[in-house]
Amino acid sequence: MNEPQFTKLTDLAAERLGGKALLCTDDFFAEKENLLKPGRGIFIADKYTDRGKWMDGWESRRKRTPGHDWCIIQLATSGKIHGVDIDTNFFLGNHPPHASIEACTISGVENVDQIDWDKVAWKEILPKSPLGPGSQNLYEVGDRNIYTHLKLHIYPDGGVARLKVYGEVFRDWDAVGETETIDLAAATNGAKSVLCNDMFFSHMDNLIMPGRGVNMGDGWETKRNRTPNNRDWVIVRLAHKGIIDHLLIDTCHFKGNYPDTCMVEGAVIGGDDEESLKNADWKTILPQSKLQADVEHAFKSDSQEAFTHVKLTIFPDGGISRMRLWGRITK
């Protein structure tokens, strides 16, 4: 399947990034929280609950009254939405035939219980659209306003395995001072892993997710490479151009497969195309440094140059759970 370009963007609704399913009309068969979990959802043939067949998604009961079901989602960060994937994986005789999505922006409210959802000004960003059974239903969104919450409508009822909301993280950089310390490599601030030479075991996006890795699969891990003097690398576009003061390279859960050493370099690059990234003028931020198993490694940088992208190189191969790059933005 040739996925659209928007699927390369950040999933703004992902639970692991901080997205939350707040409220729904009905989740009798399967909880609304499943909507935002990683992957596409699984199927276990002989697994049942006291309410019926266990399903890895959000599933409402069969509606016997007028109307339809909906679920309200709080995005992990405010952002501009480019496209959505309403995935009905494994929902075959019980998927909704149609869905639509509305969005809104709510700011300055610390407690969601204080929100009167009936008075929210929702705006439709995806009109009522057909859903196929057991499939990814990918739709582009043309609205480029900044939103914080979504309302997924399904018609009239049924099950959706996952909802992915692809877009750009929005952060008000005017409100961030040039002396303020910020993690320039955090996905929640708008950083993005854009290119790597290998991610055989786990995805490069994991490197910049919040929190520590939950297991060995929650990191960036390359395959075993037998080539003498091999090195693997990943390039991250920083959330904002800035000067990096401190680094943290975390090998959490990587014990027999952590890299021997690593190096971090920076560059100023105008775009994320492969040619520009590979031919950039990379300058050392952290010289090649020894790593240990299952440890948070703290390093200090003496570089006072501002960069837009960083390149983490590991020698010869292996896995890194997280990378944090604390520094100051330059305006």
Q: Are 67 and 60 in contact (CB under 8 A)?
A: no
Closest CA to 330 of 311, 300, 308, 309: 308
**Are 195 and 163 within one domain?**
no
Residues 10 and 122 in one domain: yes
Backbone angles phi, psi at 41, to 5 degrees: 95, 150
Asked if residue 295 and residue 181 are part of one domain, the reply reads yes
Assign 25 to helix, strand or coil: coil
**Boundary residue ending a domain (169, 189, 223):** 169
Kindly state whether residues 142 and 218 are assigned to the same domain: no
CB 30 within 8 A of CB 56: yes
- Quote the CA–CA distance of 248 and 262 in Å, as a whole number: 11
* Spatial separation of the C-alpha atoms in residues 327 and 247, rounded to whole Å: 9
Boundary residue ending a domain (169, 200, 232): 169
How many structural domains compose the chain?
2
Q: Roughly how many angstroms between the first and final C-alpha of the chain, as a whole number?
A: 41
Q: Are residues 98 and 163 in the same domain?
A: yes
Same domain, 284 and 156: no
**One domain for residues 158 and 193:** no
Indicate whether 292 and 193 sit together in one domain: yes
User: Is 32 in contact with 163 (CB distance < 8 Å)?
Assistant: no
Contact 36, 71 (CB under 8 A): no
CATH number (domain holding residue 218): 2.60.120.260
Q: Which domain-ending residue is among 169, 195, 222?
A: 169
156 and 195 within one domain? no
pTM: 0.93
For residues 81 and 43, membership in a common domain is answered with yes
The pLDDT assigned to 111 comes to: 79
Q: Say if residue 188 is in the same domain as residue 296.
A: yes
Instruction: Report which DSSP code applies to 93.
Output: S
The pLDDT assigned to 2 comes to 81
Domain that holds residue 306: 177-329
Structure confidence at residue 108 (pLDDT): 76
In tens digits, what is the pLDDT along the chain, a chain of 331 residues?
Answer: 688 999 999 999 999 999 999 999 999 999 999 999 999 999 999 999 999 999 999 999 999 999 999 999 999 999 999 999 999 999 999 999 999 999 999 987 777 888 889 899 999 999 999 999 999 999 999 999 999 999 999 999 999 999 999 999 999 999 999 999 999 999 999 999 999 999 999 999 999 999 999 999 999 999 999 999 999 999 999 999 999 999 999 999 999 999 999 999 999 999 999 999 999 999 999 999 999 999 999 999 999 999 999 999 999 999 999 999 999 999 8
